[in-house]
């Protein structure tokens, strides 16, 4: 397979990049630094960078796009005086608009595949049933990413492109912290199984890394 993973320079994205490369697939990753081998430069919030990515991959079939790049900027913010407007804008630019623009940028590449797939890394924090308060920006942005994925699944089904939305688990990364439940390797392995199972019959699914359907 030809696979494109955004935010592949660290965390879950890097674990997926390494695992798919070891399995013998052709894997392109993105990061914000300059192109380096299979790691391509992309700021998902920058339309010019998105155009450059589309040009770089022109004519290359992409079998799996993993929209992994994301930010969690409001950890520890206080309701009384936190959550500034710029933080809302920056978070939604990456976690929502960045996903949408990346799908737009490589849509022609996905259509070149016999069975293109889009995997959007969201979070259980997107679900209305997982609402203990706090982290308002991150929760809202991941809920928006979930909604985006569901609607993309509807629009892209006629193209034979399946879209899945996934909770990667509470993972021991810089974002998840050292007390999280699972390792990056476990998350990546589980997610790879979910992506392999994604099809036109399951498009629009919201699932956990270990294969459980997650309530919306």
Please give the pLDDT value at position 171. Answer: 64
Residue ranges making up the domain that contains 50: 2-208
Copy the structure tokens of residue 81: 């005086």
Residue 215, in any domain of the structure = no
Whether 191 shows a pLDDT value over 60: the answer reads: yes
Angle between helices 47-56 and 98-105 (to 10 degrees): 30
Please give the pLDDT value at position 211. Answer: 85
Model confidence pLDDT, tens digit, residues 50-69: 999 999 999 999 999 999 99
Please give the pLDDT value at position 187. Answer: 86
Residue 105, in any domain of the structure = yes
Which range has the worst mean pLDDT, 46-60, 62-76, 182-196?
182-196
175-186 mean pLDDT = 67
Rounded to the nearest 10°, the torsion over CA 139, 142, 147, 152 is 170
Whether 182 shows a pLDDT value over 80: the answer reads: no
Please give the pLDDT value at position 120. Answer: 98
Whether 177 shows a pLDDT value over 60: the answer reads: no
Q: How many helices (H) and strands (E) does the chain have?
A: 7, 7
Residue 32, in any domain of the structure = yes
Model confidence pLDDT, tens digit, residues 121-143: 998 888 777 778 889 999 999 99
Residue 131, in any domain of the structure = yes
> Which residues, listed in sequence order, are joined to residue 28 by a DSSP beta bridge?
4
Please give the pLDDT value at position 178. Answer: 61
**How many alpha carbons lie under 13 Å from residue 196 in its C-beta half-sphere?**
10
Among 49, 69, 145, 70, smallest CA distance to 100 is for 145
Residue 176, in any domain of the structure = yes
Please give the pLDDT value at position 28. Answer: 98
Residue 58, in any domain of the structure = yes
Whether 115 shows a pLDDT value over 60: the answer reads: yes
Residue 213, in any domain of the structure = no
Please count the structural domains in the chain: 1
Whether 103 shows a pLDDT value over 90: the answer reads: yes
Q: What is the CATH number of the domain that holds 101?
A: 3.40.50.720
CB count within 10 Å of CB 114 equals: 7
C-alpha span between 92 and 131 (Å, rounded): 19
């Amino acid at each position: 397979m030809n696979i494109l993973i955004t935010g592949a320079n660290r965390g879950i994205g890097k674990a997926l990049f390494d695992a798919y490369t070891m399995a013998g697939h052709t894997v392109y990753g993105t990061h914000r630094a300059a192109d380096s081998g299979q790691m391509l430069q992309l700021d998902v919030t920058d339309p010019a960078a998105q155009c450059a990515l589309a040009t770089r991959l022109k004519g290359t079939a992409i079998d799996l796009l993993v929209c992994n790049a994301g930010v969690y900027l409001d950890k520890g913010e206080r309701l009384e005086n936190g959550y500034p407007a710029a933080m809302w804008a920056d978070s939604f630019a990456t976690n929502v608009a960045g996903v949408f623009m990346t799908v737009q940028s490589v849509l022609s590449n996905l259509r070149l595949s016999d069975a293109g797939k889009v995997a959007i890394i969201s979070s259980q924090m997107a679900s209305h049933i997982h609402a203990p308060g706090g982290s308002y920006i991150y929760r809202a942005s991941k809920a928006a990413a979930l909604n985006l994925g569901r609607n993309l699944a509807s629009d892209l089904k006629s193209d034979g492109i399946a879209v899945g939305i996934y909770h990667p688990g509470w993972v021991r990364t810089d974002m998840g912290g050292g007390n999280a439940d699972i390792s990056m390797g476990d998350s990546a392995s589980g997610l790879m199984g979910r992506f392999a199972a994604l099809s036109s019959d399951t498009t629009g699914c919201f699932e956990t890394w270990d294969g459980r359907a997650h309530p919306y």
